[in-house]
Amino acid sequence: MFKNRLYKTLNIASNEDLKLFSKKSKIPTKKLKYYNEQGLLPYHEDLQSILQTTGFTEFELKIKLGILDDSILDLLNAHSKEISILMNNNLPQIESNSHHTFAFETQFGQMYQGDCVSLMNTMKNGSVDLIFADPPFNLDKEYESGMNDKVSEEQYLRWTEQWVLKCVDLLKEGGSLFIWNLPKWNTYIANILNKRLTFKHWIATDIKYRLPIKNKLYPSHYSLLYYTKGEKANTFNEQRLPLEICRKCGGDIRDYGGYKDKLNPLGINLTDVWYDIPPVRHSKFKTRESNELSMKLLERVISLSSNVGDLVFDPFGGSGTTYAVSEILKRKWIGIELGSVDLIKNRLDDLGYQQSYIEEIQGNKNVLFTEQMRKIRIKKGHWLPETLKNKDASN
Ligand SMILES: C[S@@+](CC[C@H](N)C(=O)[O-])C[C@H]1O[C@@H](n2cnc3c(N)ncnc32)[C@H](O)[C@@H]1O
């Protein structure tokens, strides 16, 4: 979380300051910039040179940069009383001038317009069963709300910490929290959550979302963090998927050998790599600006971690996917969006076709073969659970 701390620590406020410090310490400006922007502890002789130039001890520098290794945490722990007195026993309060207003309600939900942290400050701690959050990724995207999606990494991470901590407060004991983001940001978010909740999974959702980049692996997954408050989730409704088969010929992709008849008729266990979440292309509600997620993703998360009547909260409305799926699945929900909520209202006023889509998704899970798969397998003469049994019976 301590990006850009190095410059602050070294009193570097301008290019001139940077050049001057580079000259004194003999560390190239490019390298100082790298340490600063990445929030890293300088390496090897660079570290020694900074200590010499500034007169800081390594301990002092690490504290200033927020690099709290276990040995430092042990020391802070041993002196917590003195430190607390030194700080007047106060935790800093975060000032906020943001606001929110009530927008509309539906049979199951309440929608607000404005800033999510402002709304979360008014909600009861420990009141939400399931939180799903899909924040902006700081990628300079245009949002209808006109929000700035390209702030400094430091600003983005400070803001992230604010809303993530509020989510932790709002979650009920036994409740579940899911956060959808780029893997890079989710490493920072995991660092916050690991100190407060129980890590369940880093779910990799296979989506080719960018062009291949030179000297980098081709980024092809979004990360979905899954944590619970307390060791065990109050709700974990098993989700099973149909067997993967060849799309063209309907045949097996893997060799199940003698295990075919041992496969669970309700389908294959859901893993932490999700290959079957489609991009939203044809939705009638798709607008480029809203970065709408697939209803299939939300159907899975909500069915997995909540029951009818539970309360779902999503702090980043967008086009309202979480709210539409919650409404269809009869979960209570609370929503908020910084920009206009008109799109969300329209979407919730007309759930018909979305309801059919959810029914289709639900019809195609928790079975080993869907109806469509069965048809092609019968046509092409591939095995089905009943044909295995018939074979046994005739042997
Ligand atoms: C990535 S989109 C969410 C898309 C949503 N999951 C969907 O499927 O439609 C993030 C949304 O959060 C909104 N947003 C950004 N900052 C916010 C804030 N502080 N409070 C509430 N909403 C915010 C943006 O305007 C944007 O619509």
Indicate if ligand 1 lies below 6 Å from the C-beta of 321: yes
Which has the higher per-residue pLDDT, 47 or 97?
Answer: 47
State in Å: Cα 206 to ligand 1 middle.
22
Indicate if ligand 1 lies below 6 Å from the C-beta of 319: yes
First to last CA, the chain: 66
State in Å: Cα 225 to ligand 1 middle.
17
Please state, in angstroms and as integers, the Cα–Cα distance from residue 22 to each residue in 16, 29, 45, 64, 114, following that order.
10, 6, 14, 19, 45
Q: In whole angstroms, what is the distance from residue 115 CA to residue 335 CA?
A: 11
Q: In whole angstroms, what is the distance from residue 42 CA to residue 50 CA?
A: 8
80-137, pLDDT tens digit by residue? 999 999 988 888 777 777 899 999 999 999 999 999 999 999 999 999 999 999 999 9
49-84, pLDDT tens digit by residue? 999 999 999 999 999 999 999 999 999 999 999 999
Predicted local confidence at residue 208, as pLDDT: 73
Q: Are 109 and 326 in contact (CB under 8 A)?
A: yes
- Across 20-29, 201-210, 246-255, 259-268, the highest mean pLDDT is recorded for 20-29
Q: Is the pLDDT of residue 211 over 80?
A: no
Overall average pLDDT of the 165-180 stretch: 98
Q: What six digits make up the tokens of 239?
A: 């989700």
Overall average pLDDT of the 240-246 stretch: 94
Overall average pLDDT of the 302-307 stretch: 98
Predicted local confidence at residue 88, as pLDDT: 84
Predicted local confidence at residue 294, as pLDDT: 95
Angle, CA of 37, 40 and 44, to the nearest 5°: 125
Mean pLDDT estimate for the chain: 92
Indicate if ligand 1 lies below 6 Å from the C-beta of 116: yes
Predicted local confidence at residue 145, as pLDDT: 75
Nearest CA to ligand 1 atom 27: 318
Which has the higher per-residue pLDDT, 185 or 280?
Answer: 185
Q: Are 41 and 5 in contact (CB under 8 A)?
A: no
pTM for the whole structure: 0.93
Nearest CA to ligand 1 atom 26: 318
State in Å: Cα 10 to ligand 1 middle.
36
pLDDT tier at 286, thresholds 50, 70, 90: low
Question: Which string of DSSP letters, residue by residue, matches 213-234?
Answer: -TTS----EEEEEEEESSSS-S
Work out which ligand 1 atom sits closest to the CA atom of 318: 27
CATH 3.40.50.150 in the chain is located at 100-363
Indicate if ligand 1 lies below 6 Å from the C-beta of 291: yes
Task: Give the CATH fold of the 100-363 domain.
Answer: Rossmann fold (3.40.50)
